[in-house]
Amino acid sequence: MSRDLLSTREVAGFLKVNEKMVYALVAEKGLPATKVTGKWLFPKHLVEQWIENNTTNFPQSIDRLSSYNDLIIFAGSNDILLDKLLSLYNRNSGSLAVFGNLGSMGGIHALRRNLCHIAASHLMQENEKEYNFDIASKELASMPVVVNFCRRQQGLLLAKGNPKGLHSVDDLLRKAVQMVNRPLGTGTRLLFDNELKKAGIRGEQIEGYDREVNKQLDVGLEILSGRADIGPGIEAVARLLNLDFIPIRWERFDLLVHKDYFFDKAIQQFLALLHEQKFRTLADETGGYDHTLSGKMIFPGQEQ
């Protein structure tokens, strides 16, 4: 994947629009851009991702993912509790579950392309109450079965003892504060950017906003090492690494299961774990999780 930086003229040529339209796309449509020495620059790989995320009317795939009764392929948003449950499943089920860390949006794209059986996603919708349905209905030819995995406490991770006295996103504007971020296409980044928007803060105003790491745990490790002061993440990471935590909201983390595979033996075996006490014990011991809805079929046919 290219990491080239495009100028305004170059990105206009890439998108086949005039330069004035580029500025409008930045302001109104969220075209990824950064300002360096007073000039707009556009990371090419993020522009390509932005184009894919805004594409509609995908052709329906006719190829079915190879089905094995003893293999499940997950893709999407990484999570500490999900990692633990996958390990438990692999040790005890006689089957194998593998996971591709692509972020929530990437997981849904993988589901669309028949590259996985299950997508793990927590993409908050504009109403801030519902999750995943809007993007799934736009990206997928038909709605998958949606089963809740858990609810998670999302917020801001910061060094133990909060040495810089940080209490909200407004404090990110301090010049002495360095943040670390999650990539575009992740549910955590979507939530964080939404909090910035509500506070009237632009990402380019924050030191370190463009510095991205691939996993929830990586955000905590950057803070633990002193390379960053604060970053968006889940409470479970703060507990694991003994960091301080500023809560923002509880979110719903779902498993989107391709309807063609929902009744496969291995998938039903995995979903059954969500109703067992050993899963609830794992969640309670990890902390930062609510398993009240775990295993509940959110779609189709049941009210939340």
Residue 65 belongs to some domain of the structure: no
The residue segments making up the domain with residue 29 are 5-53
Residue 60 belongs to some domain of the structure: no
The predicted pLDDT at position 302 comes to: 47
| Domain match, 76 and 35 both | no
234 bridge partner residues: 154
| Domain match, 113 and 240 both | yes
Over the chain (304 residues), what is each successive 10-residue block's mean pLDDT? Answer: 76 89 82 81 84 62 60 96 97 95 95 95 94 93 95 98 95 93 94 95 94 96 97 98 98 96 94 97 98 96 48
| Domain match, 16 and 140 both | no
Residue 20 belongs to some domain of the structure: yes
254 bridge partner residues: 121, 148
The predicted pLDDT at position 65 comes to: 64
| pTM attached to this predicted model | 0.80
User: What is the crossing angle of helices 265-273 and 80-92, to 10°?
Assistant: 120
| Domain match, 33 and 143 both | no
User: How many residues are present in the chain?
Assistant: 304
115: closest CA among 74, 156, 154, 173? 74
Total domain count, the chain:
2
- Provide Rg for the chain, Cα atoms: 20
| Domain match, 129 and 236 both | yes
Residue 63 belongs to some domain of the structure: no
| Domain match, 257 and 172 both | yes
75 bridge partner residues: 100, 119
CATH number of the domain bearing residue 104: 3.40.190.290
The predicted pLDDT at position 62 comes to: 43
Residue 115 belongs to some domain of the structure: yes
Q: Collapsing DSSP states into helix, strand and coil, what is residue 42?
A: strand
The predicted pLDDT at position 3 comes to: 59
| Domain match, 32 and 78 both | no
CA 69 vs CA 96, 262, 264, 281, 299: distances in Å = 10, 12, 6, 28, 24
CA distance 224 to 231: 11
| Domain match, 135 and 222 both | yes
| Domain match, 42 and 78 both | no
Those residues with Cβ within 8 angstroms of residue 207's Cβ, 6 or more apart along the chain or in another chain = 175, 177, 178, 179
Residue 62 belongs to some domain of the structure: no
Residue 58 belongs to some domain of the structure: no
76 bridge partner residues: 101, 120
Residue 75 belongs to some domain of the structure: yes
CA distance 165 to 154: 19
| Domain match, 117 and 25 both | no
| Domain match, 118 and 40 both | no
Query: Which stretches of the chain are DSSP H helices?
Result: 8-15, 19-29, 44-53, 80-92, 103-112, 133-139, 187-199, 216-224, 235-241, 265-273, 277-286
| Domain match, 134 and 241 both | yes
